[in-house]
C-alpha cells in the first residue's frame, strides 16, 4: 500500500480529480463543497505521518456522506470511470429487486481507502481491514481497493482469501482509468504471485511473474520474485514443484 500512497501524495489531486471525472455525477453537490477542503487537508497529514489526525479528518468526510446518502432501497457507489459507473447502474437495474443505484463522489470511497492506510501505520490492522471492506463495498470493481484489501489478507496469512481477492483485482482492471490499467493489473498479478508462493504453487507463481514482466519489462519487484521462485524450484524435484497446492515435506524442500 505504501507505494500507492506515495503516488497519491505526489499527485495530491489524484482522488480529488477522480471525484469530478467522467465517471462521477455531473454536478458538484452541496456536501461535496463541504467535503473537498476536508478531504484535501488529509493528504498533507498523511504525508507528514500525522496519521491519527488524518483519521479524524477522514472520519468527518465519511460521516458527511453517510448522513447524506442513507435512503432506503438505494445502494450507493463510487466510480473512477464511465464504464465503472455504467456497470453499477446496469447491474442494479438488472437485479430487479426494487433497489436503485446512485453513483456519488469518489471522495467517499477514497476516504475509507486513505483512512485504512493511516490505520495500518497506527498498527490497527482490523480497523484498516474494515475500512477497506467499506471502500470495496462502495467501489466493488476498483482494482486498487481490491488489491489493498488482499494485501491485508496477506498480512493475516490468509493466503487463499488473498489470492481470491487479488484475482478479483486483476479482473477489475477493465474498469480502471486507461492510464492506470497496467499499474493496477501489475499490482494484482504480483499479489497473486506472492500468494501462489505461500500456497506452494511455484509453477503458477512463475507464470504470473512472467506475465508481469511481459506487461512491463522494468518491473523490478516481479523480476526479484521470479528469481526467488526459480531458486526455490531448483531446490526440489520437478514433480514436487509442479504439484499445485501440495505441502512439501521439509526434507524435500531443502
What are the pLDDT digits (tens) for 93-126? 998 888 999 999 999 999 999 999 999 999 999 9
Instruction: State the pLDDT at residue 248.
Output: 36
Instruction: State the pLDDT at residue 26.
Output: 41
DSSP summary character for residue 25 = -
Higher pLDDT, residue 34 or 52: 52
188-243: per-residue pLDDT in tens? Answer: 999 999 999 999 999 999 999 999 999 999 999 999 999 999 999 998 875 554 44
49-87: per-residue pLDDT in tens? Answer: 999 999 999 999 999 999 999 999 999 999 999 999 999
> Residue 61's CB: how many other CB atoms inside 10 A?
25
Instruction: State the pLDDT at residue 27.
Output: 60
Q: Fold for domain 1-141? A: 1.25.40
Domain boundaries, the chain: 1-141, 158-254
CATH topology match: 1-141 vs 158-254: yes
Give the angle 182-167-217 at the CA atoms, nearest 5°.
35
Rounded to two decimals, the pTM is 0.82
| Cα 96 from Cα 80, distance rounded (Å) | 25
Question: Torsion over CA of 233, 236, 238 and 239, rounded to 10 degrees?
Answer: -130
For the segment(s) 158-254, the CATH number from 2.20.110, 1.25.40, 1.10.3470, 3.90.320 is 1.25.40
| Cα 12 from Cα 39, distance rounded (Å) | 10
CA 44 to the chain's CA centroid: 21
Amino acid at each position: 500500500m505504501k507505494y500507492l500512497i506515495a503516488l497519491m501524495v505526489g499527485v495530491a489531486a489524484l482522488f480529488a480529480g477522480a471525484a469530478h471525472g467522467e465517471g462521477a455525477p455531473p454536478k458538484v453537490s452541496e456536501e461535496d463543497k463541504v467535503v473537498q477542503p476536508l478531504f484535501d487537508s488529509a493528504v498533507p497529514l498523511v504525508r507528514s505521518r500525522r496519521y491519527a489526525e488524518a483519521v479524524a479528518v477522514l472520519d468527518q468526510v465519511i460521516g458527511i456522506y453517510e448522513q447524506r446518502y442513507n435512503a432506503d432501497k438505494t445502494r450507493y457507489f463510487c466510480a473512477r470511470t464511465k464504464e465503472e459507473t455504467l456497470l453499477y447502474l446496469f447491474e442494479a437495474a438488472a437485479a430487479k429487486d426494487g433497489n436503485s443505484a446512485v453513483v456519488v463522489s469518489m471522495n467517499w470511497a477514497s476516504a475509507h481507502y486513505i483512512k485504512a492506510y493511516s490505520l495500518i501505520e497506527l498498527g490497527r490492522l482490523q480497523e484498516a481491514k474494515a475500512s477497506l471492506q467499506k471502500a470495496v463495498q462502495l467501489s466493488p470493481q476498483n482494482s486498487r481497493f481490491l488489491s489493498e484489501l488482499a494485501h491485508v489478507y496477506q498480512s493475516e496469512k490468509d493466503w487463499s482469501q488473498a489470492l481470491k481477492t487479488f484475482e478479483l483485482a486483476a479482473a477489475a482492471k477493465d474498469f480502471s482509468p486507461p492510464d492506470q490499467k497496467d499499474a493496477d493489473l501489475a499490482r494484482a498479478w504480483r499479489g497473486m504471485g506472492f500468494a501462489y508462493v505461500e500456497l506452494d504453487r511455484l509453477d503458477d507463481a512463475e507464470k504470473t511473474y512472467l506475465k508481469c514482466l511481459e506487461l512491463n519489462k522494468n518491473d523490478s519487484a516481479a523480476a526479484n520474485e521470479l528469481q526467488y521462485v526459480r531458486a526455490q524450484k531448483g531446490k526440489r524435484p520437478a514433480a514436487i514443484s509442479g504439484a499445485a497446492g501440495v505441502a512439501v515435506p521439509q526434507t524435500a524442500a531443502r
